[in-house]
Chains A and B, each alone.
Chain A
Amino acid sequence: MARVFNWQLGREMSYWYPESRPQRQFAAVFDTNKCIACQTCTLACKTTWTSGKGQEYMLWNNVETKPYGSYPLAYDIKLLEMLNGQQWSGAKYEGQTLFESAPAGERVLGWRPEQRDYAYPNVGEDDCAGQVDHGEFLSLPHMNWFFYLPRICNHCTYPACLASCPRGSIYKRQEDGIVLVDQGRCRGYQECVRGCPYKKVFFNPMTGTSEKCIACFPKMEQGITPQCFENCIGKIRLSGYLSPPGKARPDNPIDYLVHIRKIALPLFPQFGLEPNVYYIPPIHAPVSFNQQLFGPGAGEAMKAYRNAMNDPDLASLLCLFGSTEKVINRYHRQGELAVAADEKGVELVRVPMREPVHIRPAVDQKNQLVRINCP
């Protein structure tokens, strides 16, 4: 194994191949506080990419309810148990990654879901025990809160699927860091399904190959966001490209949220894959739970998000989520306006930080009419 640097762990780690960062890295920020689990993203992806034979069960994009939801079943709990409790020391991960804890004969610490594990994509949906007048009917470890976790492939810097494939059928594109399964080369061994901790590679029994989220690369190549971003009615998603930590640009929205403000955090960084979908943690969930999911920065991220209304630069950027179907490469704040531009600097959209409010009097004095509120 080679030694590579994983900035999310604050240290070097072992990986199957030497460090080879792409020219630029596809990345995304999901604001969990805005997601309503309408699954429009799921369907946008499903109808676009996985409507074929053998793809029936696949959800390249899914939205699960935390703490009890997961797709496939218990994908996260199972691996956390296998990792057997590891420690952070401040921002540095002292525990073992999936590569470092690979048993003898394996490339990665992994497991493969059974068929039934895919049968309950909405298990735990909206499961939350809230206060009721006469006390709770049942008592669970996580009471009174839940949130929605939308998930796609993380297009990791150190993909475990890529490391797991014994014949090099998975590759990470140099031009944008998107991770793809070569459908001409794959022989369906399902090692990638076993290796990916997020379980975002799926075996197609009809073609005998494994398939996964492609970050809608035909769209990204044209500067247009993927289907699950463009169709998100909650406007929780922002796509773009992430720079390495030392080269972060404050006018790059993803860099600003991830590297500069550290408000958007990776999912299960302790696995060691350097995933590139970043989450703004849910501010109403317990810090300890968020730390388990998003690493030690969760508490600070929650504070910063809570304070966003007093933080115009941050607030203006949050207003740009879902404001255009184009990929935003640059942004700046102009007073009360958030202004987005593409990589050539051409303006894409400007969004007011506060929507103008107009109140119409109930009586139209000019025409002497009473206005009726009706749809």
Chain B
Amino acid sequence: MRYTILLVALFSAACSRAPKAANEVVAVASAKVPAQPDDATWEGAPEYTAKLVPQDLVEPRLMNPSTPEVRVRSVTNGSEIAFRLEWDDESKNDMPGPSRMVDACAVQIPEKTEKDLPEPQMGQEGKRVQVTYWRSDWQATVDGRGDTIRDIYPNATVDHYPFQSKALEKGSDAEKEMAQRYAPARALGNIRSGPRSQPVEQLVANGPGSLSPGEPLSAKGKGAFGKKGWAVVISRKLPEGLSANQRTHIAFAVWQGQQQESGARKMRSGWVSLLRKGE
């Protein structure tokens, strides 16, 4: 009898923890769009498991498959939509450097909500896609990691930087100008060259290799590395023209730093139906 009770208890506990499976990504309505991956709101959203395949359309291709799938939940408050992406990852890679790739993920949504879909790999000419891209090293920076070489290489010794010259007043425009002179990507306003306030970038693309900065779309993100791997929240403005109970499409991509994945070397999904559930 005791064993029966125990089994029943275990079974019901397992049932309550098991996520509701879905055959599409369903964005459930909620007054609040959760910002944290462990927010209880996610429990009310069904889980969709997107199968991932190696990027094999353009060179360089990913020749060895890595992340097999990404588990996705979605919530919307009518103006913003958030996704929580979870994937198994044995190692946290959030330190950039030569040959040091970082963990990352992205969601891709057609710019226009219409039946005729763009190509699933980065869109196509005349049919752009919006990509919201999250990276683990940006997350670390947003979470407080400093913007110095010693934050990445603790044992580094630097004798002198020109912008730290005694002749330059600390914090002055002249000092900032001098610092930018030796950080050309920052001087040119390259959005990926930090320091950052959000660990995500909002981008648009109309084909492989065409990724460029897009409208900000209030993109936000938060990633946390747990025992099994990453759980990352990516939120952005609701896609234009996506009314309640209507569908658009979404695709996912995951990069594992440990596997030297970056840029075109990634695991990606095809288009998946995305339903914005009504109130």
Contacts and interface: CB of A to CB of B under 8 A. Distances in A.
Interface of A: 50-57, 104-107, 112-115, 118, 164, 166-168, 183-191, 193, 202-209, 211
A206 B183 contact: yes
Given A168-B209, A189-B262, A208-B193, A52 B98 contact: no
Given A166-B208, A184-B185, A203-B99, 18 more contacts: A52-B162, A53-B161, A56-B158, A113-B98, A115-B97, A184-B189, A187-B211, A189-B262, A189-B264, A190-B262, A202-B98, A203-B98, A205-B100, A206-B149, A207-B185, A208-B185, A208-B192, A211-B184
Q: Which of A115, A168, A206, A209 has the most CB of B within 10 A?
A: A206
A207 B96 CA distance: 10
Nearest to B209: A167
Nearest to B59: A107
A96 B96 CA distance: 34
Interface residues of B, number: 47
Contacts, number: 132
B152 interface: yes
B149 A190 contact: no
User: From DSSP, what is the main secondary structure of chain B's interface residues?
Assistant: loop
29 contacts: A51-B160, A52-B161, A52-B163, A52-B181, A53-B149, A56-B156, A56-B158, A57-B98, A104-B61, A105-B62, A106-B60, A106-B61, A166-B208, A166-B264, A183-B187, A184-B185, A184-B189, A186-B190, A187-B211, A188-B96, A188-B262, A189-B263, A190-B101, A205-B96, A205-B97, A207-B193, A207-B194, A208-B96, A208-B137
Contacts of A114: 98-99
Contacts of B148: 53
B162 to A, nearest CB: 5
A282 to B, nearest CB: 30
Interface string B41-66: 00000000000000010111111000
B182 A53 contact: yes
A303 to B, nearest CB: 41
A56 B63 CA distance: 33
Interface in B91-138: 96-101, 137
Contacts of B211: 167, 187
Given A167-B210, A189-B264, A206-B183, A183 B190 contact: yes
Contact of B98 (A104, A112, A184, A187): A112
The 3 closest A-B pairs by CB, nearest first: A52-B182, A189-B263, A105-B61
A176 to B, nearest CB: 19
A206 B147 contact: yes
Contacts of A55: 182
Q: Which of A50, A51, A186, A202 has the most CB of B within 10 A?
A: A51
B262 A183 contact: no
A56 B60 contact: no
Interface string B138-179: 000000000111001000101011110000000000000001
B188 interface: yes
Nearest to B98: A203
B186 interface: yes
A166 B99 contact: no
B60 A52 contact: no
A48 to B, nearest CB: 10
Given A56-B158, A202-B98, A191 B182 contact: no
Nearest to B158: A56
B99 A184 contact: no
B98 A115 contact: yes
Contacts of A118: 98
A50 B182 CA distance: 7
Contacts of A189: 262-265
Nearest to A58: B98
Contacts of B264: 166, 189, 191
A196 B251 CA distance: 33
Contacts of A204: 183, 185
Given A115-B97, A168-B209, A205-B152, A51 B190 contact: no
Given A115-B99, A205-B152, A51 B193 contact: no
Nearest to B189: A184
Contacts of B152: 205-206
A104 B193 CA distance: 32
A184 B190 CA distance: 5
